């Protein structure tokens, strides 16, 4: 099974004719598979020798020191280069401003210093390592779950109770490698949530604060959809509905905390809800 490919990566492979079904090139991403069909995918080797920075990519840095950079990523910006996004990513902007990042990472020149990622349409805080020691420290904190990542989201329906835990393995859907799903064969995934507010009009919705105990692709989106409360505006997982106008999936990485790689002190960062999402809540508060 293919792993590590984004939706854009797969779309680019289809467009380039690298996806075959029963020996014939697929011409559309919406092609549905029939039981018994054979799918062959050729992933061309991408060689990145040295990634060039792009100063045109605006990078909002909320903290920087000799070890760590914390950025506030806007919605619509892809974190790192991939098959569907060769230029104009957050990494290109970071490298233009911090060339030393090119030496940092786990052997992947397309992701220098990148410790974790956010989906293209998710805004908010992201930590980037500036040294090999800092990289190992931050990755280790992700693995032992001492790095705290908190998100604010608006979901459909009234979530019962005041808090909860979704503990369900997440893996790639067998019929669509760009889509994640709750699956017995997936990787362990745990998402905690706290109810912040509920609204009745123009449709029942709930504001949640979600904390990741693991970091699977699309984890929050998949988990909330699995409990029948998809993220408002998330067309990928059933959250796009006409009753509330929202420009994207309502998901924002609002808080990030970790032990500083050099000092060992706990550091915390927060990000205000962007205007496009704040306007949605303002409208709900006004009863519009």
Catalytic sites, residue numbers: 119
Q: How many Cβ atoms are within 10 Å of 160's Cβ, its own excluded? A: 10
Element (H, E) at 25: strand 24-25
* Cβ-Cβ contacts under 8 Å for 196 (sequence gap 6 or more): 152, 206, 207, 208, 209
* 47-to-44, 81, 137 alpha-carbon distances in Å: 9, 12, 27
**Contact in structure between 127 and 73 (CB atoms under 8 Å):** no
Q: What is the radius of gyration, based on Cα positions, of the chain?
A: 20
* Cβ-Cβ contacts under 8 Å for 27 (sequence gap 6 or more): 14
Structure-token pair, residue 50: 């040295």
Whole-angstrom Cα distance, residue 202 to residue 151? 24
Helices (H), the chain: 7-15, 90-97, 132-143, 219-226, 275-285
Strands 251-259 and 123-129: parallel
């Amino acid at each position: 099974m293919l792993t590590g490919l984004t939706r854009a990566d797969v779309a680019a492979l289809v467009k380039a004719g690298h996806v075959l079904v029963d020996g014939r090139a697929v011409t559309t991403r919406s092609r549905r598979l029939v039981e018994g069909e054979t799918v062959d995918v050729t992933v061309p080797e991408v060689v990145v020798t040295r990634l060039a920075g792009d100063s045109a990519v605006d990078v909002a840095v909320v903290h920087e020191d000799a070890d760590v950079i914390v950025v506030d990523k806007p919605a619509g910006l892809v974190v790192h280069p991939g098959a569907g996004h060769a230029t104009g990513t957050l990494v290109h902007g970071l490298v233009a401003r911090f060339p030393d990042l090119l030496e940092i990472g786990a052997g992947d020149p397309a992701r220098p210093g990148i410790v974790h990622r956010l989906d293209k349409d998710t805004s908010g805080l992201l930590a980037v390592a500036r040294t090999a020691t800092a990289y190992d420290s931050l990755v280790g904190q992700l693995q032992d779950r001492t790095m705290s990542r908190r998100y604010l989201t608006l979901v459909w329906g009234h979530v019962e109770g005041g808090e909860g835990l979704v503990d369900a393995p997440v893996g790639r859907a067998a019929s669509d490698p760009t889509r994640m799903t709750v699956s017995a064969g997936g990787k362990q995934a745990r998402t905690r949530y706290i109810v912040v507010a509920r609204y009745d009009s123009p449709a029942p919705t709930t504001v949640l604060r979600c904390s990741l105990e693991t970091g699977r692709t699309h984890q929050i989106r998949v988990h909330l959809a699995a409990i029948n409360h998809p993220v408002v505006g998330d067309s990928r997982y059933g959250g796009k509905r006409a009753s509330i106008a929202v420009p994207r999936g309502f998901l924002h990485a609002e808080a990030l905390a970790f032990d500083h790689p050099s000092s060992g002190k706990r550091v915390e960062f927060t990000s205000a809800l962007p205007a496009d999402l704040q306007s949605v809540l303002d409208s709900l508060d006004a009863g519009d």
